[in-house]
Amino acid sequence: MEFNFENNEWLYNPNLYGRSGCVLQADGIGFEPEEFLRQTTFNPKLILFHGKLGFPEEFKLKMAEVEPSGLEFFETTFLLLEVSRAETKTSQISEATSFFESYRDEVKRLQSFTQVENVTLRFINTEDESSQGNLPDEFVELAVSSGVTTIIL
């Protein structure tokens, strides 16, 4: 399998998550999502994934050819939560608003949890790029005040 290291679009592929919707992702080198989940108030049905997502073996082999000496891979550990299953961005924003109103303190706790480097809100939909537009300021304020560090449309 060939990899184009300058094109990282595969990281943002909606098929990676399987459907449209909105997800909250926390990640960090050394982050232990299982430890966080032991004391969480998040509904267990919201948890899509937790654990380490490693690099594909083909990637490691290709990089070893390029940088054969002492190459160290930093594989990040993830917690992925479902925020919305809606297909349109408008509905996703509405459901995400409800999510933050319900779980504001828990998202803040996640953001400040040991080794968490990023808390990313990711919108995944099938709308045209041109129809995506900006997020309402009130929503961005709510997300950021809840502990979100990055929003990806």
Q: What's the burial of 56, exposed, middle or buried (CB within 10 Å: 0-12/13-18/19+)?
A: exposed
Report whether pLDDT(129) > 50: no
Across all residues in the chain, what is the average pLDDT?
81
In 58-72, which positions are buried (b, 16+ CB within 10 angstroms) versus exposed (e)?
A: eeeeeeeeeeeeeee
Residue 10 has pLDDT above 50, yes or no: no
Tokens of 76: 């990040």
Query: Where do the domains of the chain lie?
Result: 9-152
pLDDT of residue 151: 92
Higher per-residue confidence, 68 vs 112? 112
- pLDDT tens for residues 16-72? 455 688 999 999 988 999 999 999 999 999 998 888 766 666 766 776 676 666 656
Strands 150-152 and 118-124 come out as parallel
**pLDDT of 65:** 72
Average pLDDT, stretch 111-135?
A: 80
139-149 per-position pLDDT tens digit:
999 999 999 99
Percent of the chain with pLDDT over 90: 54
Enter the pTM of the model.
Answer: 0.76
